[in-house]
Structure 1
């Protein structure tokens, strides 16, 4: 007699909650977890004839739900010139020259993840630096934080940027003393011009390939769900093509539609109405098993590295930029989104931006009333005040944070531009834990590496993946393994409102499960580096297996 049940035994099974002791086995049937516990209890639940797989003591967890990602951009970025570990402008130039020589028929060169600290003090990116090695075709390079672009003269020409081109709301085309663009585009200028140009020259086949690449990369690193954070028309059509072709995605995706600050309240409110229409049409056509538009993303400020994050006190250079979304627009648009059931995902890196974020949440509660399923979330929270953390706990706001953003190897410029005690108090994970704020840990790929074990390593150690010689950044913040894994699985499932079906290994939950090649509980943290999943299950079926 045979059974349709598979038992996985001799494992260290973390079931999703830090306070729950690990168990030794689990059983899967029909795409769902049948049971988890002692081998004897699991065998009783499974009945006779079950297949049994011995995992040799491996760590097994719920599949990781990536808490913050830009999927198509990740798939695209994996094929770009990689610049995160470039230490100087000359090294960037060498890699671009090599890319040009390797592909003489290229129509453009794209790169990703250059860091601000490659420039000598007081210098900024210029088009001439890129023209020196690639003058004939457009070069467009995304910064490590994806909040600015560095381009050459050919790219400025291709984008149609002239002296008369206006700065968009919330962005800047950096110019020289003559009024000419220098090749450095900040915030919404990068999004509107650099990203807009690339979107025009990207084909549907390209986008389909980007999505495939991102999904495959994530499955290999134990991810069985993702939270999209810059969803738009092109993304929607790409996902719809995949759903029409396969009837499913490689794993569930929850999308937050990116709103653009226009400076016109009626136009901003119209965006919300359009997102709600897309959400309802998507759900009517495909259901919500694989793809949902769950909310809207507000980018309230920029980033600390470029001195564009909104802070309560000035940067070391005296700069004190305002937010991208002013309160007079942010609050009513948030209320409108909340009124139609759209979750708020609020990018806030500076301490003033996170204050605005909570003002938005509080205004939604005041106008629309309390609601248990609201689950607002604030993204990044790199420099955050203690009073904001207390407010988040009181209002039930999730802290969506990314350990890979504070790899010590990428913090030199971040600390220098702050220049005071704020340089030592960033990313305060421990304060959120102490306050009882729900934490959801992700990577924000491709602004940072997407691999879950590397992200976990930084959460456990506050040390660098990129440069092992670095001292840890404020190591009192670190997580215990169980707390970090809960924040990467159940915490992120809670944040996406899928905690009823994902984030736990428990009876009736979808069998999104990962067996790891390193054990965060028993191995030294260094053992995590460069590893991934031994196998990844989505609905009980093998979606990835290491060779």
Structure 2
């Protein structure tokens, strides 16, 4: 067993007994010693390999507490539509689609956002039909809660002017009653159900691309929020073979029929992969007006969003998985959805006696003040995404109005109420760059520093709280606080070396900060090139 000593300008341990160090020693995947250079060198003994990280700052392994690995892989290998400024630009990018963008004969892309286009209106199928009259096209919105498809995709799915909205979904139609090509939430499933699945080679390429990207941005672990069975089986095989490079805390996909397989299997633990939680969706997203609100959207009177499962069905599924020993994690964006989810989690956990399973509200994005207090008093996990706030802040007021914003993206209020914060990105909806998440949590500004004082700055986190949100927070939320989240002798050797200090350095430095090395279980899974 080789021993490696890592030296750095500073090491932030997040250990209250010894918060700062200069070096750490790694042996057999664990931390052998953490302390001064002399202390660690002596503990390592003669013959230890030394890695001098120079002026770098080392922090505990950074973990994204809510993300989608397969989704990131798909976004990296199909047509990328992020920052497309118009429908014309989308069509241009589609016309140059690489071969990996096709699933069967379907052309796939993701990341469009009508809020960034002139007028901000949803697109229509006519533009797609003109360029792709016979190739089915399926383009997911940036939030993955709406899809834009062409006429051929609608034809294959059997969607016509007479097709009613499915429960928990909307088929948008024009003034003549014809489908526009935009499908919201559960209406997407009507089309995706007739698409061919990815090939095994395609799935493998996507998963490997995503995990590689995660290591490059400094992630040592990911909480995957709703993993499909085929992806889970592939990661299981990699874990058994010792080739899974990052730690993956997988939530079973609880929406479809695969949930029965997961329920029969029960919680599962491997070496780098675990599945002891399940994820359900209660509502849609704010950007596509699918988030379920108590009152109408300010910019679309008469529309209050969508509940994707009937409340009684959500409660039944939560109860069943809790009784089987699963931690239950439920997506809730709108204030009506958050009220419902709190009701479901509190009642089901009391009925099953599973309060110790650390049930989670995923996003906890817009809440009434009383529900913030309820969530905190129950000690639930609030799994929130800082960059959602900085992405949404330019148009959230138009959707919600000032009164509802008091309980929106309210990380400080949630923390002060007693909630356990676990921070993530929800990639690929947002960029997987964890440093951007640390920056947004501290500043509530975009990369240019807008707005000058931060958006609703009273909800900012301190530098220490932000770092905890990506380290000790996810560790607690995945029952790993005795193994990870801090740099202490005996714990797993998961850590990241950064070019900037995320605790004592200015927040603005995080915008251009670099990841120098990512280490998981003592193995370097990423090292920045010397010229970087």
Establish whether TM, by shorter chain, passes 0.5.
yes
The 5-angstrom pairing of residues 251-330 of structure 1 reads 251-260=246-255, 273-279=260-266, 283=268, 287-316=269-298, 317-318=300-301, 319-330=303-314
Whether 1:361 aligns to 2:348 is: no
Equivalent position SS for 1:357: helix
Deviation at 1:106, TM superposition (A): 9.9
Q: Cα deviations across residues 171-224 of structure 1 (Å, max 9, x unaligned)?
A: 12222344432100110122x1344344x2421100000000000000011111
In structure 1, distance between residues paired with 2:100 and 2:231: 30
Alignment partner of 1:11: what SS? strand
1:149–1:194 contact (8 Å) kept in structure 2: no
Who is 2:245 aligned against?
250
Contact 1:112–1:144 at 8 Å: present in 2 too?
Answer: yes
Corresponding residue for residue 517 of structure 1: 499
Match of 2:190 in 1: 193
Q: Deviations over 1:454-506 (max 9, x none)?
A: 222211211113x6665532223222222111110111121112222221211
Structure 1, unaligned runs of 5 or more:
262-269
The one of 315, 322, 332 equivalent to 1:338 is 322
How far does residue 103 in structure 1 lie from its aligned partner after superposition?
Answer: 9.7
Check conservation: 1:119, 1:125, Cα contact below 8 A.
no
CA distance in 2, matches of 1:359, 1:132: 48
CA distance in structure 2 between the partners assigned to 1:62 and 1:197 by the alignment: 44
Instruction: Give the superposed CA RMSD.
Output: 2.7
After TM superposition, list the pairs within 5 Å mapping 1:200-239 onto structure 2. 200-239=196-235
User: Are the counterparts in 2 of residues 116 and 413 from structure 1 also a CA contact under 8 Å?
Assistant: no
What is the CA-CA distance between 1:19 and the residue it aligns to? 8.9
Aligned-partner Cα distance in 2 for 1:20–1:427: 33
Partner of 1:10, secondary structure, is: strand
CA deviation after TM superposition for structure 1 residue 302, in Å:
0.9
CA contact (8 A) 2:307 2:337 kept: yes
Moved more, 5-14 or 417-426: 417-426
Deviating more after overlay: 131-140 vs 503-512? 131-140
Partner SS, residue 224 of structure 1 = strand
Q: Distance in 1 between matches of 2:95 and 2:35?
A: 57
Cα distance change on mapping 1:27 and 1:113 into 2, 3 Å: same
Shift of 1:72: 0.9
Match of 1:502 in 2: 484
Distance 2:291 2:18 in 1: 39
Match of 2:397 among 406, 412, 415: 415
Instruction: Tell me, in whole angstroms, the C-alpha distance in 1 between the residues paired with 2:229 and 2:442.
Output: 38
Decide whether aligned partners of structure 1 residues 383 and 152 sit closer, same or farther in structure 2, where only a CA change above 3 A counts: same
Which 10-residue stretch deviates more, 271-280 or 389-398?
271-280
- The answer as to whether partners of 2:236 and 2:273 remain within 8 angstroms in 1 is no
Secondary structure of 1:412's counterpart equals: coil
Q: Which stretch has the larger CA shift, 250-259 or 474-483?
A: 474-483
The aligned counterpart of 1:184 is: 182
Alignment of 1:12 onto 2:6: no
Question: 2:368, 2:407 within 8 Å by CA — same for their partners in 1?
Answer: no
Aligned CA distance change for structure 1 residues 18 and 302 (closer, same or farther; 3 Å):
farther
Aligned residue pairs: how many? Answer: 526
Cα shift at 1:26: 1.3
Q: Which residue pairs with 2:517 in the alignment?
A: 535
Q: Quick check: 131-140 or 486-495, which moved more?
A: 131-140
Is 1:51 the equivalent of 2:46? no
Give the superposition deviation at 1:356. 1.2
Equivalent residue number for residue 408 of structure 2: 426
Pair 1:440-2:438 in alignment: no
Cα pair 1:17 1:490 within 8 Å, conserved: no
Describe the SS at the equivalent of 1:321.
Answer: coil
How much has 1:545 moved relative to structure 2? 0.7
Q: Shift in Å at residue 134 of structure 1?
A: 3.5
Which residue matches 1:267?
none
Q: Give the C-alpha shift of residue 18 in structure 1.
A: 7.7
Tell me the equivalent position of 1:37. 35
Aligned twin of 2:115:
117
- Are 2:60 and 1:62 aligned? yes
More off after superposition, 224-233 vs 513-522: 513-522
- The SS at the match of 1:529 is helix
Give SS of 2:413's match. Answer: helix
- Specify which of 107, 129, 141 is matched with residue 143 of structure 1: 141
Q: Residue 21 of structure 2 aligns to a residue in which SS?
A: coil
Superposed CA offset, 1:221-245 (max 9, x none): 111111111212222233244346x
The Cα offsets for residues 283-308 of structure 1, whole Å up to 9 and x where unpaired, read as 4xxx5212222211110111112222
* Structure 2 runs not aligned, ≥5 long: none
Change (3 A) 1:355 1:163: same
Deviation at 1:147, TM superposition (A): 0.5
Partner of 1:399: 382
Q: Using the TM superposition, give the Cα deviation of residue 107 of structure 1 relative to its aligned residue in structure 2, in angstroms.
A: 4.0
Secondary structure of 1:23's aligned partner? strand
SS in 1 for 2:344: helix
Tell me how far apart the structure 1 counterparts of residues 192 and 20 of structure 2 sit (CA, whole Å): 45
Q: 1:195 to 1:33 in 2, by over 3 A?
A: farther
Provide the rounded CA distance (Å) in 2 between the counterparts of 1:394 and 1:505.
Answer: 30
Map Cα deviations across residues 367-422 of structure 1 (whole Å, 9 max, x no partner): 122543x10111112211222221122212011011111225x4333321223332
Q: Is the 8 A contact 1:204 1:238 kept in 2?
A: no
89, 92, 97: which one pairs with 2:90? 92
